[in-house]
Amino acid sequence: MTKLTVPGIQPLPLFGRTILLSKFVGDSLGFTSQLFQKYGNLVSLARGGGTNTYSPLPNCPGTVFTYGAQNVQTVTSQHEIYYKYPLTGGLYSRRDESKRTEPLKHFGVGLFGVNSDAHRRHRQLLMPAFHQKRIESYRNTFVEITEAIANQLEVNQVMNIAKLMRSLTLRVATKTLFGVDMGEKGSKSAALLQKIGILLGNPKTMVLPFDLPGFPFRQMMTLMAELDEEMRGIIRSRQASDSDTGDVLSMLIQARDAETGMTLSEDELLGHVSVIFAAGHETSANALNWTLFLLSQHPQIAADLLDELEAVLQGAAPTIEQLQQLPLLERVIKESLRILPPVPWNARVTSQPTTLEGYELPTGTEVWLSIYHTHHSPEIYSEPNKFNPQRWQNLEVDNFSYNPFSAGSRKCIGAGFAMMEIKIVLAMLLQKFRFQCLPQQTINRSALIVLAAKGGLPMLVCQQDREFSQGVGGLRGNIREMVELQ
C-alpha cells in the first residue's frame, strides 16, 4: 500500500494512532484547528497514515483534513475521484457478517452510499419529492407543528431548547416523510429511527462493534431489525394503495426512471427513507438552536429582526409569498449557518490515486473537508468570528466558500426544505417568545457528524417583551472560540 506523505503529528509507538483518533472524536474542531495552525490547510491525522475513522473499505491508507474554497471545489467537483459512503461509516463493512447485520446493507445508505451513474440515477428519482412546489405544499405542516410546540413552551421557565427543537423537527420529518405526525398518533418507525441515530452517534458502537449481550452495537442491530419489519410493512401497504398521499415516501414509491422505467427497490427505499429522516431532523434542529442562541447574544439584531417580522406578519405565521418579504430573516439564518454550521464536516474517500495541495493521496484515503474552518477563513470573511448578518447585503461568495449544505453535484437535496422549515419556525416563535441565556452559562460544542451544544441548550423562555439585553454576556465554554461574545 502506498504510504501517506501529507504532514501531520508523529504518532507515539503502540497506541499513538488510537490516542490521536480519540482526540479527533473528542473535539474534532478544536483538535484540527491546532493541526491546521501548525501544518497548513492540508494535514494528516497521523504522519504516515494508518488511521481509519469513516471508510468501510478493507484498505485505508490514512485520514487527512482540509479546508478552504479551493480544496472544497477540488473535492466536491470531482465526484468520480472523491466517493461518499453510508452514514454507518466503518460499520457498513459488517453488513455481510450474519443475518442480524443485514440491515446495514441499506440503513443510512440512500444518496450517501451510491456513486457515479448510480448516484445520478437515484438523485433524479428523488428530485421531484424536493421540487419547490412540493416543498411549498408542506407549509401548513410546518405551521401546525410549530404551533403545537409553541403551546408546550412554559413562560418564565427554563427549558432545554435543543430537546424542544429536536421534537419539532422530528415531528415535521415524520409527517412529511410518512404522512403521520408522531406527536399526535405516535410513530414506531420514527421512534426506532431516533433510537438508532443515538446509538450510531455513540463512539462505543463504532469502537466495539460486537453483536454480544450488553454491547450498544447489538442493541442497534436489534432495533434495525425491528425498523426493517415496520418499514417494509408501511412500504408494502403504500404500494398496494398505489396513490400519492402527499408525503415523501409515497412519492418515492411512485418514482420511475424516465429512460428505463425502473423504480426503487424495497431495500433502496429503506435506505433513502433512513437517510432523509436522519439527516433531515437533526441538522435543522441544530440550525434552529444555534440561531436562537446567537440572537440571544446580539440584542440589536434580535430587535431589528422582530421589527421586520411584526411589520410583515403582524403576529401571524408567514405565507409562502411573505417569506420572500423577510430579507433580514434570510440573512440571519445564512449567517448562523456560516458561523455555526450544523454539519461541520464533509467526509469522502478517494476511489483512485489523486493529488491535493501537491501531495499524493493513495486510493482509499479518507478526506475530511471542514465546512466550519472554510466558513471561518479570514481570506473569505472579514472578522470571521463575528455574527454579522448584514455582511450578506453586499457580500457575494461562491458555493465553495459558503457551503452549509455541501457543494457540487452532491449538494444536500433537502436544502430548500430545510431553509423553509427554519424560516417558518423562527418567524412564528420569535413573534411570541424571547429566549434568554442563563447567568454564567457554560456552552461547549459536540462536533463530529453534527455541531450541537454538548448537554443541550437550556434557556429561559419569556414572553416577547423586547428586553433583548437580558441574559447577554458572561457565557463560558469553548463556544467562545467559535463566535465573538460579550
Residues of the domain holding 199:
16-481
Instruction: Reply yes or no on whether the pLDDT at 480 is more than 70.
Output: yes
The mean pLDDT of 126-141, rounded to a whole number, is: 92
**1: pLDDT confidence band, cut at 50, 70 and 90?**
low
302 within some domain: yes
Residue 28: in which H helix or E strand, if any?
Answer: helix 28-39
In the chain, how long is the greatest CA-to-CA distance? 65
What is the C-alpha separation between 196 and 408, in angstroms, rounded? 29
| Interval 280-307 mean pLDDT | 96
Q: Is residue 44 part of a domain?
A: yes
Across-strand partners of 159?
A: 459
Tell me the average pLDDT across 92-97: 94
| Most confidently modeled range among 195-204, 221-230, 326-335 | 326-335
Residue 106, domain member (yes or no): yes
| 467, pLDDT greater than 60 | yes
pLDDT single digits (tens) 401-446: 999 999 988 999 999 999 999 999 999 999 999 999 999 999 999 9
Judge whether 374 and 69 are in contact, CB under 8 Å: yes
Q: Nine-digit cell at 152? A: 408546550
> Residue 246: is its pLDDT beyond 90?
no
The CATH number covering residue 84 comes to 1.10.630.10
Q: How high is the pLDDT of residue 339?
A: 98
- Position 4 in a domain: no
Which of 454, 352, 449, 362 is closest to 89 using CA atoms?
Answer: 449
Q: In the predicted model, what is the mean pLDDT of the chain?
A: 93
Q: Is 8 domain-assigned?
A: no
pLDDT of residue 55: 94
Q: What is the mean pLDDT of residues 231-242?
A: 83
**Structure-derived torsion over alpha carbons of residues 77, 82, 85, 91, reported in degrees to the nearest 10:** -150
Could you tell me if residue 307 is inside a domain? yes
**Number of continuous H segments (helices) and E segments (strands) in the chain:** 17, 12
- Confidence category of residue 183, pLDDT binned at 50, 70, 90: low
Instruction: Give the confidence band of 75 by pLDDT, cuts at 50, 70, 90.
Output: very high
What are the tens digits of pLDDT across the range 341-362? Answer: 999 999 999 999 999 999 999 9
**Mean pLDDT of the 74-98 span:** 94
pLDDT band at residue 186 under the 50/70/90 scheme: very low
In a domain, 408, yes or no: yes
- Can you list the alpha helix ranges (DSSP code H) found in 151-265? 161-178, 188-200, 203-207, 216-241, 248-254
Task: Give backbone dihedrals phi and psi of 71, rounded to 5 degrees, phi first.
Answer: -70, -35
> What pLDDT does 250 receive?
87
Cα first-last separation, the chain: 51
pLDDT at 293 over 60: yes
In this predicted structure, the answer to whether residue 306 has a pLDDT above a threshold of 60 is: yes
**Would you say residue 144 lies in a domain?**
yes
**How many structural domains comprise the chain?**
1
| CB neighbour list of residue 466: distance below 8 Å, 6 or more residues apart | 303, 306, 434
Residue in the structure block whose three cell numbers are 447585503: 393
pTM of the entire predicted model? 0.94
More confident residue, 318 or 260: 318
Confidence of residue 178 (pLDDT cuts 50, 70, 90): confident
**pLDDT at position 185:** 46
| pLDDT, tens digit, 9 for 90 and up, residues 15-48 | 999 999 999 988 999 999 999 999 999 999 999 9
